[in-house]
Amino acid sequence: MRGNEHEKLPQLTPQGWNHLSCKSGFKSGFFAFIKAEENLGAQSTYVFSCRYGIIAAKGGMVVRTVKVMGIVARASNYRDSDRVLTLLTADRGKLTVTARGCRRQKSELLSGTQPFCYGEYVLREINGIQVVNQCELIECFYDLRTDYNRLDAASAALRASEEVMQKGQPSKELFALVYHTLAFLSYGTAPPVDTLICFIVKFLHLAGYAPATTLCANCGASTYLTGRFNRDCGALCGTCAEAQGGVQVAPLTLEAMRRMGRIALTDMGKVLLPENVRGECVELLGAYFDGHMMSKVKMSETLNRLCASIEKECKNAERPGNYPG
Ligand SMILES: [Zn+2]
């Protein structure tokens, strides 16, 4: 094919591609089109030739970097010193990125590439893989690592969020919820189980599965005196519960669930549940979460574990003689 011949064949341009308009160093005879594609927020340019398929533009694909604020939800070791990270971000949802050489002792990436770390990550795309170029650790939520219950609750919250966060979709509200939950689990004074219960209520709201609380899910009547809790839909009035089933629940528990769904994220650390309300929330919300979210996180098991450890602590506190030494 002689040079310039392609100009006579505009109808052959593949959809979404434009004729190569630049006078770059392509040999005459190439039948080439150019396409700009949104990638990591930057434009990458490809050149397509009918004879050779996709060929890169001069100097290869345009590589650009992008900055994201993210929380490391998962870190798997890879090769000798690399790690594959799952980052939860507000602007780009869930991202899978590779941190090369981050496990070397002198690596600048070492501190920011561990689970639960929150930081600023500079990413670059190389051959279709997103690679961490730089990272700056902002918060590592250190105290999660010093207390098993805090760690247990934080892991459950992080796993559940990782499962529902979509790749490439902005997830500002879920990200803010995860951030505040980790912060209060790490540095707050409330029992981890209460913070996790509050997380679950807020999480169910975001996922679109909020349980009915003070009004019957079926008929909208008040559940104040005759409230039952059904694991499929939440609160039911006495009449509806006769047909659909449901276990007895204290009005205070339903009211607590309603309030936890509404309080500001910055107040999550103030949630302190009375013992009977906590017990009912653990039992009912755990089963409700597991039934609706189909998650790998067995939330009712985690909640029961955390609740049992509080009871144990209370018992020990009443009888100081139980402490060793
Ligand atoms: Zn009803």
Say if residue 133 is in the same domain as residue 203.
no
For residues 121 and 132, the answer to whether their CB atoms sit within 8 Å is: yes
CA of 124 to the centre of ligand 1 (A): 55
> CA-based angle 204:288:243, to the nearest 5?
120
323 by DSSP, 3-state: which?
Answer: coil
CA of 277 to the centre of ligand 1 (A): 22
Say if residue 12 is in the same domain as residue 102.
no
Say if residue 106 is in the same domain as residue 225.
no
Say if residue 194 is in the same domain as residue 313.
yes
Say if residue 227 is in the same domain as residue 299.
yes
Tell me, what CATH number does 91's domain have?
2.40.50.140
Q: Rounded to two decimals, what is the model's pTM? A: 0.80
Please report whether residue 119 resides in a domain. yes
Please report whether residue 297 resides in a domain. yes
For residues 99 and 119, the answer to whether their CB atoms sit within 8 Å is: no
Say if residue 39 is in the same domain as residue 72.
no
pLDDT tens, per residue, the chain with 325 residues: 444 444 444 444 555 555 554 444 444 444 555 555 555 444 455 555 555 555 554 434 445 678 999 999 999 998 899 999 999 999 999 999 999 999 999 999 999 999 999 999 999 877 678 899 999 999 999 999 999 999 999 999 999 999 999 998 999 999 999 999 999 999 999 999 999 999 999 999 999 999 999 899 999 999 888 889 999 999 999 999 999 999 999 999 999 999 999 999 999 999 999 999 999 999 999 999 999 999 999 999 999 999 999 888 888 776 554 444 3
Question: Strand 234-236 to strand 118-126: parallel, antiparallel, or no bridges (unpaired)?
Answer: unpaired
Q: Which two tokens stand for residue 292?
A: 């609706």
Number of domains the chain is built from: 3
Please report whether residue 282 resides in a domain. yes
CA of 241 to the centre of ligand 1 (A): 7
CA of 238 to the centre of ligand 1 (A): 7
Domain that holds residue 251: 189-318
Tell me, what CATH number does 233's domain have?
1.20.1440
CA of 314 to the centre of ligand 1 (A): 38
Instruction: Please provide the DSSP assignment of 6-29 as one string.
Output: GGG-GGGPPTT-EE--S--SPPTT
Please report whether residue 179 resides in a domain. no
